[in-house]
């Protein structure tokens, strides 16, 4: 089918959405993911969709994109959901969908091909495709722009997360969709990437006038770009047959945010200007710290230190009989980790923050330089954490990875928590306390993979702490978390700090680091610019 608007550039007919009593139950589930939704979105409207996790927001976007699978194979649809009066499945290319994980938003390995992919599938003629590809890349700022100027055969794997998401947007624009659907498009990005993507979306909407539906926790990012906010009711609480409406609140951003501020903050939504209350560090005034040096406050015993450390994720390569060390992403790093004190590692993407943290945590071998555990930490296991056995490691340094699923080793929440203590032969008594403290008690029998994002994060922190490490290393612990999980995590960590654990975190989140206090170590991307730990606060 030839595209209706081939030939004339930038003619986009915005789409209208109408949901009437619409509901969807996924195959194999007993309750509906979304229930009795009545919602009309006019042509060209820009809507921010909010609601607690489990409200069926993603399901709604997938349905609008026509990728929800077939009814029948045990899935169940009720009511009607129409785009321009027609079922979304019947009109491929009318809507474009961007998801959260940048890696899976890229289809092909060359930049130009990837943008062309959607247009090709819609049978757009060849000359028209390349015109659209150029235009779309211009619009998202990946060509002829200060924020990027790439050749058409640039490898897509060499793009940053924010660039990948802008590339995905270009691929969507090249289809000339009347409806753009964004499913937490910036949840995996650093602050610079978030703005990059948000601004590109804004420019493209101004140009095409397409309808927008975006799902996102961080309201402040999208507030000024949208002209309507819709808050959904959680799906589970509205039992099938009940009279609870699918939509809780609906209106222009300021009104909805004013009306529902308390409700939204309670539901963990990041409302602009709201920082959730957290437990302050004892002994320091709200994290800003007293002028005392190390050794003051709680303990201050030196646990771990690095000297002239160079780090890389890559292993040394063998070429014949020679061993070639990898090129370090950072070198000359000196840092010290004290008991009861926080160390925050900050800096832009690609600066090697995570790599440094993982090396510090004994998970990566240093390229050069040393990581030395003090006697108080090593406890007879030797000074080099990388040489420790896995079981020696977990009772000394615990590491929480950015993606909780990477660390799940069993099929049940309780087994997951008991795993460390069982192997160490002690510490099982602490599991109950952790279950209660991190609100996982009602989930003990659940499969870790089926938990919500916030629950997974809390579980991954709990499992690592169950082994009683004196040093806790966290890689972007607050990425993509709702405000409630954020506050719980920050409060819990400040408690741990006061109890003498030392907390090393890699983060972009300034509010988070100011709750924890301690020192900040900023890494710059260039290999030359080795960073030193500066005495920030405390």
Partner 1 sequence: MRETLTLRGNNALLTRANPLAKFVSVFLITLVLALSIDMVSASTALLGELALFPLAGLTVRLLWQRGWPLIIAAALGGWSTAILSADSGRILLDVGIWSISEGSLQLGLGFMLRGLAIALPAILLMSCTDPTDLADALAQKAKLPHRFVLGTLAALRLVGLMAEEWQTIGMARRARGVGSHGSPPQRFKAMLGQSFGLLVQAIRRASRLAVTMEARGFGGGRRTWARESTYSRLDLWVLAGGLFIAAAAVLAAQWAGTWHFVWLKQG
Residues between 198 and 257 with contacts to partner 1, criterion CB under 8 A: none
Determine, following the binding rule CB under 8 A, whether residue 479 of this chain makes contact with partner 1: no
The single residue among 29, 42, 207, 423 that binds partner 1, judged by CB under 8 A, is 423
Determine if 465 is a binding residue for partner 1 (CB under 8 A).
no
In b/e form, how buried is each residue of 191-214, taking b as 16+ CB within 10 angstroms? eebbebbbebbbebbeebebbbbb
Q: Taking a C-beta distance cutoff of 8 angstroms, is the pair 173, 130 a contact?
A: no
Nearer to partner 1, 115 or 523 (CB): 115
DSSP annotation of 325 reads: P
State the Cα–Cα distance between residues 171 and 174, nearest whole angstrom: 5
Span from 123-131, 136-144, 262-270, 477-485 in contact with partner 1 (CB under 8 A): 123-131
**Contact call for residue 393 and partner 1 (CB under 8 A):** yes
3-state secondary structure 1-57: CCCCCCCCCCCCCCCCEEEEEEEEECCCCCCCCEEEEEEEECCCCEEEEECCCCCCH
**CA–CA dist 269, 94 (Å, integer):** 30
d(CA 523, CA 532): 8
Shortest Å distance, C-beta 420 to partner 1? 5
Among positions 277, 327, 375, 409, the unique one binding partner 1 when judged by CB under 8 A:
409
Closest Cα partner for 381 from 368, 366, 392?
Answer: 392
Residue 134 makes contact with partner 1 by CB under 8 A: no
Q: Which H, E and C letters describe 146-164, residue by residue? A: CCECCCCCCEHHHCCHHHH
Per-residue x/- mask for partner 1, residues 295 to 314, rule CB under 8 A?
Answer: ------------------x-
Q: How far is it between the farthest Cα atoms of the chain?
A: 74
Residue nearer to partner 1 on the CB measure, 269 or 303: 303
State which residue, 321 or 528, has the beta carbon closest to partner 1. 321
Q: Decide: is 381 part of the binding site for partner 1 (CB under 8 A).
A: no
Closer residue to partner 1, CB minimum distance, 118 or 178? 118
Measured from the CB atom, the residue of 3 and 265 that comes closer to partner 1 is 3
Tell the smallest beta-carbon distance from residue 490 to partner 1 (Å): 21
Which residue in the set 44, 52, 148, 171 belongs to the binding site for partner 1 (CB under 8 A)?
A: 171
Between CA 473 and CA 416 the distance in angstroms is 19
- CA distance readout (Å), 83 to 3, 88, 92, 177, 405: 17, 6, 11, 12, 36
Query: Closest CB to partner 1 among 224 and 379?
Result: 379
Return the closest-CA partner of residue 329 out of 344, 304, 309, 300.
309
Q: Whole-angstrom Cα distance, residue 514 to residue 60?
A: 37
**Number of residues located near partner 1, criterion CB under 8 A:** 71
Minimum separation from the CB atom of position 282 to partner 1 (A): 29
d(CA 499, CA 477): 20
For position 113 contacting partner 1 by CB under 8 A, the verdict is yes
Among 55, 167, 175, 248, binds partner 1 (CB under 8 A): 175
- Candidates 167-175, 211-219, 339-347, 431-439: pick the segment binding partner 1 (CB under 8 A): 167-175
Q: Which is nearer to partner 1, 71 or 250 (CB)?
A: 71
- Residue ranges with strand state E in 143-243: 179-183, 211-215, 228-232
Among 26, 43, 92, 261, binds partner 1 (CB under 8 A): 92
Nearer to partner 1, 152 or 247 (CB): 152
Integer Cα distance of 155 and 166 in angstroms = 15
Choose the stretch contacting partner 1; rule: CB under 8 A; options: 45-53, 271-279, 399-407, 429-437.
399-407
Here the contacts of 443-449 (C-beta below 8 Å, separation 24 or greater) are 443/413, 444/412, 444/413, 444/414, 445/412, 445/413, 445/414, 446/412, 446/413, 447/411, 447/412, 447/413, 448/404, 448/405, 448/408, 448/410, 448/411, 448/412, 448/413, 448/416, 449/405, 449/408
Rule CB under 8 A: say whether 168 interacts with partner 1: yes
Q: What part of residues 38-67 is at the interface with partner 1 (CB under 8 A)?
A: 62, 65-67
Taking alpha carbons only, the member of 356, 363, 244, 260 closest to residue 311 is: 356
Any contact of residue 96 with partner 1 (CB under 8 A)?
A: yes
β-pair type (368-373, 519-522): unpaired
Q: Of 141, 289, 398, 480, which one interacts with partner 1 (CB under 8 A)?
A: 398
How far apart are CB 509 and partner 1 at their closest, in Å? 21
364 lines the binding site for partner 1 (CB under 8 A) = yes
Q: Does 123 bind partner 1 (CB under 8 A)?
A: yes
Residue in 241, 243, 273, 389 binding partner 1, rule: CB under 8 A: 389
* 170 versus 342: smaller Cβ distance to partner 1: 170
Q: Is 172 in the site for partner 1 (CB under 8 A)?
A: yes
Indicate whether 24 belongs to the interface with partner 1 (CB under 8 A): no
Q: Are 492 and 458 in contact (CB under 8 A)?
A: no
A 10 A CB-CB count for 220 gives 12
What are the structure tokens assigned to 67, written together? Answer: 């990728």
What CA–CA distance (Å, rounded) separates 293 from 43? 60
Using the rule CB under 8 A, which residue among 383, 391, 484, 491 binds partner 1? 391
Nearer to partner 1, 133 or 431 (CB): 133
Which three-class secondary structure state does DSSP give residue 419? Answer: helix
Question: How far, CA to CA in Å, does 103 sit from each of 135, 167, 348?
Answer: 23, 11, 19
Shortest Å distance, C-beta 101 to partner 1:
6
Among 124, 213, 504, 538, binds partner 1 (CB under 8 A): 124
- Out of 140, 464, 490, 515, name the contact with partner 1 by CB under 8 A: 464
Residue 350 Cβ, how far from partner 1 at the closest point, in Å? 14
440: tokens are: 């996982």
Give the shortest CB-93-to-partner 1 separation in angstroms.
Answer: 5
- Binders of partner 1 among residues 426 to 455 (CB under 8 A) are 449
């Amino acid at each position: 089918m030839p595209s209706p608007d081939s030939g004339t550039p930038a003619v986009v007919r915005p789409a209208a959405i109408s949901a009437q009593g619409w509901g969807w139950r996924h195959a194999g589930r007993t309750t509906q993911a979304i229930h009795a939704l009545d919602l009309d979105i006019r042509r060209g409207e820009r809507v921010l969709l909010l609601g607690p996790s489990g409200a069926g927001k993603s399901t709604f976007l997938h349905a609008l994109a026509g990728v929800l699978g077939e009814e029948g194979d045990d899935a169940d649809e009720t009511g009607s959901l129409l785009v321009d009066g027609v079922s979304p499945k019947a009109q491929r290319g009318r809507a474009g969908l961007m998801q959260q994980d940048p890696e899976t938003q890229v289809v092909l390995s060359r930049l130009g091909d990837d943008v062309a992919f959607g247009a090709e599938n819609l049978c757009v003629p060849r000359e028209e495709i390349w015109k659209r590809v150029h235009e779309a890349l211009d619009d998202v700022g990946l060509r002829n722009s200060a924020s990027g100027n790439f050749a058409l055969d640039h490898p897509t794997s060499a793009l940053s997360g924010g660039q990948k998401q802008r590339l995905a947007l270009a691929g969507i624009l090249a289809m000339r969709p009347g409806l753009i659907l964004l499913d937490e498009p910036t949840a995996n990005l650093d602050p610079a990437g978030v703005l990059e993507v948000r601004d590109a979306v804004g420019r493209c909407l101004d140009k095409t006038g397409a309808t927008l539906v975006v799902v996102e926790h961080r309201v402040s990012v999208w507030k000024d770009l949208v002209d309507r906010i819709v808050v959904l009711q959680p799906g589970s609480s509205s039992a099938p047959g009940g009279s609870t409406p699918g939509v809780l609140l609906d209106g222009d951003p300021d009104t909805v945010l004013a009306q529902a501020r308390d409700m939204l903050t309670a539901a963990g939504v990041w409302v602009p200007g709201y920082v959730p209350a957290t437990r302050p560090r004892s002994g320091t005034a709200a994290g800003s710290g007293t002028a005392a040096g190390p050794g003051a406050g709680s303990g201050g015993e030196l646990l771990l230190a690095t000297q002239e450390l160079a780090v890389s994720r890559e292993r040394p390569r063998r070429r014949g009989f020679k061993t070639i060390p990898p090129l370090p992403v950072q070198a000359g790093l000196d840092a010290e980790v004290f008991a009861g004190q926080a160390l925050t590692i900050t800096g832009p993407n690609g600066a090697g923050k995570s790599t440094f943290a993982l090396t510090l945590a004994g998970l990566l071998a240093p390229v050069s330089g040393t990581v030395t555990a003090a006697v108080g930490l090593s406890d007879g296991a030797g000074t080099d954490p990388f040489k420790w056995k896995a079981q020696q490691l977990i009772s000394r340094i615990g590491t929480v990875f950015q993606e909780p699923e990477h660390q799940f080793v069993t099929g049940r929440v309780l087994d997951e928590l008991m795993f460390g203590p069982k192997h160490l032969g002690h510490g099982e008594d602490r599991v109950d306390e952790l279950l209660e403290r991190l609100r996982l008690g009602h989930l003990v029998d659940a499969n870790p993979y089926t938990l919500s994002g916030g629950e997974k994060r809390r579980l991954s922190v709990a499992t690592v702490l169950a082994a009683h490490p004196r040093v806790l290393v966290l890689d972007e612990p607050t990425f993509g978390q709702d405000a409630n999980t954020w506050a719980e995590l920050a409060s819990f960590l400040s408690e741990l700090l006061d109890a003498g654990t030392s907390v090393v975190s890699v983060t972009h989140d300034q509010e988070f680091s100011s709750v924890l206090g301690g020192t900040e170590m900023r890494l710059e991307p260039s290999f030359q610019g080795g960073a030193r730990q500066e005495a920030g606060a405390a």
